[in-house]
Amino acid sequence: MGYTSFVAVGDSFTEGLNDPPVDGPVGGLGEVQRFRGWADRVAERLALTEPGFRYANLAVRGKLIDQIVQDQVPLAVEMKPDLISFCAGGNDLIRPGSDPDRMAKKVAAAVRELRASGAEVVLFTGTDPRDTPIMRRARGKFAVFFMHVRSIADLYGCHLVDMWSMQGLRDWRAWSGDRLHMNEVGHRLVAAKVLHVLGVPGDDDWRMTWPPRERVDPRAKLREDAQWFREHFGPWIGRRIRGTSSGDGLDPKRPHLTPWERATRERG
């Protein structure tokens, strides 16, 4: 079917970090950089076949499930789009003491509300964290939550984008320097998988196979790890201690359900 409107709900993954805009970084010194991301890429493809196609992206980096359900889900329901994507839980899972069973109940309640609006809903499992030095310790918790998401998708008739099976995302070349957010290649792969799940033809293949990598010098790897700790992990720990979030004070990049052409102009 052709979709006439699409609303994306979630956190940094859906906002599009760290996939830069087509025309490069937006804004001057001190302004928040706008990103493109898989959701923008999907909207761009859906707009090709639907004149007047409308799109909103309510996602904000750093948001937890409770915040997404409280702040974004009601807005998405009110907009009454044909299609809604919902992805939440990543920021909850990396926090100590998070309970995947309780998280899943909140997701299920949100999905019921979204489906009751008449929209088709797209849900996501995350990637397998076994290759991530810190998050792999919580691999079991991730797996339990994503199995819940699978069950919720089946129960409420949602589309499911299974990123756990995407081998192309197992390679660090699909990720940005912070090791938490995908780069342009990663977002292209996810967009391709979303379009595949929706039955919409696209230009990219989500079953990407990377060419072999050259052997990495262990000393260079240590320097790279030290730089990552200093520039990304250390500040993240600092925010946890202070009780702040990277998304504090930020508004969604596409807060209104507007025609795609207008949204594109506003981005540039």
Distance CA 102, CA 32 (A): 33
Distance of CA 85 to the CA centre of its chain: 10
pLDDT tens track for 22-44: 654 443 333 445 799 999 999 99
Supply 145's token pair: 């939550």
What single letter denotes the amino acid at residue 77? V
Q: Name the pTM for this structure.
A: 0.87
**Per-residue buried b or exposed e for 124-136, using 16+ beta carbons within 10 Å of the residue's own CB:** bbbbbbeebeebe
**In sequence order, what are the residues at sequence separation of 6 or more whose Cβ sits closer than 8 angstroms to the Cβ of residue 42?**
6, 85, 191, 194, 195
pLDDT of residue 95: 86
Mean pLDDT across 44-60: 95
Distance CA 10, CA 33 (A): 18
Sketch the domain layout of the chain as residue ranges: 5-208, 217-248
pLDDT tens track for 234-250: 666 666 666 666 666 78
pLDDT of residue 129: 84
Supply 124's token pair: 């996501």
pLDDT of residue 227: 65
pLDDT at 252 over 80: yes
Mean pLDDT across 178-204: 93
**Phi and psi for 135 in degrees, rounded to 5?**
-70, -20
Mean pLDDT across 70-93: 97
What does the mean pLDDT of the chain come to? Answer: 86
Query: What's the CATH number for 5-208?
Result: 3.40.50.1110
